Structure 1
Amino acid sequence: MQETPTTLAAAPGAAANKPRAALGMKALLAVAVGLVVSQGVMVIMLQGVGIAGAAYIVPLAIAWVLALCYAASFSELSLMIPRAGSLSTYTEVALGHFPAILAVFSGYVVVAMFALSAELLLVDYLLGVLYPGLGGGLWIAFGLLGLFTLLNLMGIDVFAKLQNVLAFVMVVALTLLGVSALSGGFAPHEIPAGQIFGEFNLGDGALTLIALAIWGYVGVEFVCPLVGESRNPERNIPRAMFIGLTMIFGVFLLYCLGALFYIPRETLVNAELPHLEYATAAFGGSGTFLLAVAAVTATCSTLNTSLASVPRMLQGMAEQGQVFPILGRLTPTSRVPWVAVLFVAGVTGLPLLIWGDDAGTVGLLLVAAAIAWLLAYIIAHINVIALRRRYPDAKRPFRTPFYPLPQLIGIAGMVYAIVYASPAPELTTWIFTSAGVVLGIVSLVAIVWIKGVMKKPLFRPEPLDQLMAGNAGDKRND
């Protein structure tokens, strides 16, 4: 039977949905680093070092280890089941359709929606402070959203070239800021090293900041939905995540320690734009330009990566029947899931329209939704354990070293981070209530869709051989 374009877009393993491999190691590394290092994270890192001082090195290192654990789980899953749907596909085979839909929508679509909105609001506000007359009216925010939506619709090659440049400029700017601050090369240190390291004390609640530090490492798994467009994924997907996380750890270490030489810890905690205070103190007037470059490229890099990765998650879900088939539609030549790209761009712009320039509300919603992101990581770890038990002999191009230790450590660490997710005790009820509402709405929609449209059980895993047969069909038809 001849398939129509609509049927083809929704069919699992349809050959027409097979993208071409265009992303090498450099592009995947740029994706991993570029999504994680956002302007919001730049602020969060300075707040952490302001609270704990030099002792923040310890939670920063522990969070890095936890991040390596989730990168190991995603590496094993993405290469065992190399599909664009990423976490939804792995969970569908390990735990069933309900946790699969819940994990992606609550842990990625909702989080990306608020994360991107907060990033765009922050860059609009920062540029308004640095260059009065530029900010306000959100025209910068909507302009960037429109520009990167258009560029992502043009194809993966355009995305990759942009991402390489954005990630490189951002990492260089932040590294230059950290190294210059530590060395005192541009401006004399305001605070002596003896005072900074003399105040090193883990007894002041530094270990509770693991929950804060983990936000500096979430997102490198966004390379996984791009597995079908990657060259040599068995080698490059794990390396991009592990190297990317290590680069991020090094950059944040320099960046955070450098701030202590110039800015009082109270200022780092309480300032609206602590990174602006930092850059100005370390570089004088030229610091504002350096910060503007770092902040704008960080926001653009996060936006660019999200508009590439999240739509491909939705594309994979459409191919499995977990969302509307139209979200799997591809452009004829560049093979971009254009409906999904427009959908993600639309939900990103929605908070901007509702709350305008009230970044505080979106910031709180982001913390609430980020709890769901950590739940998605817990599900990924559980997936690895479930699939190891159900399919012990399945082909795994990457196997987690010291299994199941990274999964057990990762689950415990993410639970700890969720418990301490609230930035202030008075906000705890609001944040967990908001997270509960988000999860409740997504759960209700998922139940209605699975039972009413898919006509399948909520928690019955799909057979792995059936899914892999679809992959084999792709290769034969190519």
Structure 2
Amino acid sequence: MTMQDAISKPAAVATAGHKKARGALGLKSLMAVAVGLVVSQGVMVLMLQGVGIAGAAFIVPLAIAWVLALCYAASFSELSLMIPRAGSLSAYTEVALGHFPAILSVFSGYVVVAMFALSAELLLVNYLLGVLYPAVEGTHYIAFGILGAFTLLNLLGIDVFAKLQNVLAFAMVVALTLLGVSALTGGFAPHQFHAADLAAGFDLGNGAFTLIALAIWGYVGAEFVCPLVGESRRPERNIPRSMYLGLTVIFAVFALYCLGALFYVPQEVLLSAELPHLEYASAAFGGSGTFLLAVAAVTATCSTVNTSLAAVPRMLQGMAEQGQAFPALGWLTSGSRVPWVAVLFTAGVTGLPLLIWGNDPSTVELLLIAAAIAWLIAYIIAHVNVIALRLRYPEAKRPYRSPFYPLPQLLGIAGMAYAIFYASPAPELTRQIFTSAGVVLGLVSVVAVAWIKLVMKKPLFRPEPLDEIAEG
């Protein structure tokens, strides 16, 4: 196949309603996407910082954040099956609210997140492996190696992605579960603290509820199954189930992981250490714990990168097909039908902060929380989309309807707004975090306005008709 053959003609991705949908992804593979994107090394660090602040009481904001995550899963399930397009959030939003919110939602919630969160994830791998294996040369190049390898693998097609993702997600969940269960039972090393100590320190008045924002970061990303709706088997069943089950598995794994840490590591160490998960693994397993942690961390990072390089390019592809982005982002390879320009663009955006910040671990928290703010804005837009479409198209076909409507949407909007307000657990970082997120979102907004007015020549907030988008 020549390059000319590969890029000769953009073709629309098969949607769930099309006969040519490939159906390569079943429930197991979709759950692997949901779990594999959410459970990252950065999240492993942030969860332990939450435990360091609130102790065992962190389980309460962790549970509240799980409920809020189920709310966004309900909204995304309804939207993705009502409008089963590769563009995902952009397609839903242009029908509900118009083109400007559509472009802003995808770039804020996914492209900006790739720039911040994936870069932080790769930076953490570099730093962790450098600490664990200081005698090994070239550990600072590992991040670029991971990014390059998974870029190439995703260019090969969705079948390769699915096989890799199943293995990565399984290895990661097993490693984290082993760590949590072993820590709770004291199977490898005697406990430094006991259940009575944890109960005595259980205090919801110690700022625990302000940690809902931090806890939510432990669940964001399960909706990455939605852009893969055209590649899914029985999407009306498997899309909602994969998110609900995946989020519940994540809650169980993180509950074990966080509570287990308190039996071995003082709260002040969990809060102040640059690599609290390394302190945890070393205390619970001794020398062998470092290897288990290396497996969990590397598989978590690879899983996150793999999922992002599969889902974000398909969002950009859908936007290109609707005229909301450069047409080149919709170009597909003729054989595997991969949006190859969008894959390369996403990889480039991810690698840019690594070139700017290098291996400085102090930037990880800044990058992750700035990404969280952008992501939560996208979730608010998704909830608003459901409400707007229920009002505008009450009789439209909905293969899945959000249960208890509009309670999950109203609760989700309020919860995400609260989380954004309390986004930074460290007051000294608040200004820097909001400045970083604000500058990037401001630039995205300016570019979106210019594109809609000068290129698309359409109003900013006029929704497109549902029948045109659903049939497009």
Q: Aligned residue for 1:446?
A: 448
Q: Distance in 2 between matches of 1:271 and 1:323?
A: 42
Q: Distance in 2 between matches of 1:283 and 1:358?
A: 27
CA shift, 1:20, in A, is: 2.1
Q: TM-score, normalised by structure 2?
A: 0.96
Taking structure 1 as reference, are residues 452 and 459 closer, same or farther at Cα in structure 2, changes over 3 Å only? same
Matches within 5 A, 1:211-226: 211-226=213-228
Could you say what secondary structure the match of 1:422 adopts?
coil
CA shift, 1:437, in A, is: 0.9
- 2:76 paired with 1:74: yes
Q: Distance in 2 between matches of 1:300 and 1:427?
A: 28
CA shift, 1:203, in A, is: 0.9
Q: Distance in 1 between matches of 2:268 and 2:85?
A: 47
- AA aligned to 2:25 is L
When structure 1 is superposed on structure 2, of 245-254 and 116-125 the one drifting more is: 116-125
Q: Distance in 1 between matches of 2:14 and 2:32?
A: 28
- 2:47 paired with 1:49: no
**Mapped contact 1:91–1:100 kept (Cα < 8 A):** yes
Q: Distance in 2 between matches of 1:136 and 1:62?
A: 42
Structure 1 portions without partners, runs of 5+: 471-478
- AA aligned to 1:292 is A
Structure 2 portions without partners, runs of 5+: none
When structure 1 is superposed on structure 2, of 135-144 and 201-210 the one drifting more is: 135-144
- AA aligned to 1:321 is G
Number of residue pairs matched by the alignment: 467
- AA aligned to 1:369 is A
Matches within 5 A, 1:256-267: 256-267=258-269
1:115 paired residue among 114, 117, 122:
117
CA shift, 1:139, in A, is: 1.1
% of aligned pairs identical? 80
Q: Distance in 2 between matches of 1:135 and 1:249?
A: 37
**Mapped contact 2:274–2:361 kept (Cα < 8 A):** no
- AA aligned to 2:276 is P
Q: Distance in 2 between matches of 1:265 and 1:97?
A: 47
- AA aligned to 2:337 is R
- AA aligned to 1:52 is A
Q: Aligned residue for 2:187?
A: 185
Matches within 5 A, 1:398-477: 398-470=400-472
Matches within 5 A, 1:271-286: 271-286=273-288
**Mapped contact 1:326–1:339 kept (Cα < 8 A):** yes
Taking structure 1 as reference, are residues 363 and 265 closer, same or farther at Cα in structure 2, changes over 3 Å only? closer
Taking structure 1 as reference, are residues 135 and 278 closer, same or farther at Cα in structure 2, changes over 3 Å only? farther
**Mapped contact 1:10–1:321 kept (Cα < 8 A):** no
Q: Distance in 2 between matches of 1:160 and 1:268?
A: 35
User: Structure 1 residue runs of 4+, over 6 Å off?
Assistant: 4-7, 10-18
2:157 paired residue among 155, 158, 161:
155
**Mapped contact 2:14–2:231 kept (Cα < 8 A):** no
Q: Please tell me the root mean square deviation across aligned C-alpha atoms, in Å.
A: 1.9
Q: Distance in 1 between matches of 2:56 and 2:137?
A: 34
Taking structure 1 as reference, are residues 219 and 415 closer, same or farther at Cα in structure 2, changes over 3 Å only? same
**Mapped contact 1:96–1:459 kept (Cα < 8 A):** yes
Q: TM-score, normalised by structure 1?
A: 0.95
Q: Aligned residue for 1:249?
A: 251
Q: Distance in 2 between matches of 1:96 and 1:57?
A: 39
- AA aligned to 1:162 is L
CA shift, 1:53, in A, is: 0.8
Q: Aligned residue for 2:95?
A: 93
Q: Distance in 2 between matches of 1:360 and 1:49?
A: 19
**Mapped contact 2:452–2:459 kept (Cα < 8 A):** yes
Could you say what secondary structure the match of 1:180 adopts?
helix
CA shift, 1:85, in A, is: 0.3
Q: Distance in 2 between matches of 1:241 and 1:299?
A: 20
- 2:392 paired with 1:390: yes
When structure 1 is superposed on structure 2, of 362-371 and 456-465 the one drifting more is: 362-371
- AA aligned to 1:378 is I
- AA aligned to 2:264 is Y
CA shift, 1:422, in A, is: 1.4
Could you say what secondary structure the match of 2:463 adopts?
coil
CA shift, 1:355, in A, is: 1.7
Q: Distance in 2 between matches of 1:145 and 1:386?
A: 38
CA shift, 1:361, in A, is: 3.0
1:268 paired residue among 267, 270, 285:
270
**Mapped contact 1:13–1:319 kept (Cα < 8 A):** no
Q: Distance in 2 between matches of 1:135 and 1:181?
A: 32
**Mapped contact 1:68–1:245 kept (Cα < 8 A):** yes
Deviation per residue, 1:380-406 (Å, 9 max, x gap): 000000000000000111111110000
Q: Distance in 2 between matches of 1:353 and 1:339?
A: 21
Q: Distance in 1 between matches of 2:250 and 2:198?
A: 23
